[in-house]
A = this chain, B = another copy of it.
Amino acid sequence: MAQHAAEVECADCPIRHRAVCAKCEPDELDRLEQIKYYRHYDQGQTIAWAGDEMGFVASVVRGVATLSHTLADGRTQMVGLLLPSDFIGRPGRTTSPYDVTAVSDVTLCCFRRKPFEDLLVSTPHVAERLLIMSLDELDAAREWMLILGRKTAREKLASLLTIIARREASIGLIRPKGPIVIDLPLTREAMADYLGLTLETVSRQISALKGEGIIQLDGKRRILVPDIGRLVDETGDDMDGGIVA
């Protein structure tokens, strides 16, 4: 787990303008550059178990990771879906309250806890950015709560696909014209854990959406959306096609 490359200068970093370092001035970036190091995880590997000591915080540079809660009897709920530029860990806490898992091959840009916390105090732009990112995550969590608490299985699936499509679009992974291609990094089980469903129900709903031509499957993990509007219509968010905040 070493030769994955991706070690780069901050200036050339793919997440330079979205991650916790986004607002840094050149001198602040230098300080981050000095304390950063990369780690790689293979698909399926656990980055941390709930309760584990975590000596670092990190940004996701590449790949997808999840945060999840597991009850004693095995029921699992995903509570965070971490895409490139998302932040792992929190200042002032040394153990992860969640299981952190690499669902694809993952590269993290890590900072040892202590130097990072020092930096938070001394460089306002990092703390400022972290606040904004945390508030964005909080908004996302609250939208997710609506999905979990009040939506039907079909609406849940449509919502998940819409969210992933939106995020990939915002990162610039999506060709502007033609059908949207979602390169879904999640298994049916992971989707079920995201949505509070069983994997069978996820599978049935995907089949139903496919049967109605709202989505098309290309292999197991790739989904085509010929008309994003039709998908959004199924999310339940909005009954007459307006734009959803």
Binding site for B on A (CB under 8 A): 51, 67, 69, 71-73, 75-77, 79-80, 90-92, 97-98, 121, 124, 127-128, 130-132, 134-135, 137-139, 141-146, 148-150, 195-196, 236-240, 245
Contact = CB atoms under 8 A, between A and B. Distances in A.
A150 B77 contact: yes
Contact of A71 (B73, B141, B148, B150): B150
A98 B139 CA distance: 10
A182 to B, nearest CB: 22
Contacts of A121: 124
A141 B143 contact: no
Copies of this protein chain in the complex: 2
A80 B149 CA distance: 13
Q: Sort A-B residue pairs by CB-CB distance and give the 10 closest, nearest first.
A: A149-B196, A79-B142, A148-B148, A141-B141, A72-B239, A77-B149, A69-B146, A77-B146, A75-B150, A148-B149
A135 B72 contact: no
A77 B139 CA distance: 14
Given A142-B79, A148-B196, A239 B90 contact: no
A139 B245 contact: no
9 contacts: A51-B245, A67-B142, A69-B142, A71-B237, A72-B238, A72-B239, A77-B146, A138-B138, A141-B142
A171 B156 CA distance: 37
A44 B132 CA distance: 31
A98 B130 CA distance: 22
Nearest to A128: B127
A143 B92 contact: no
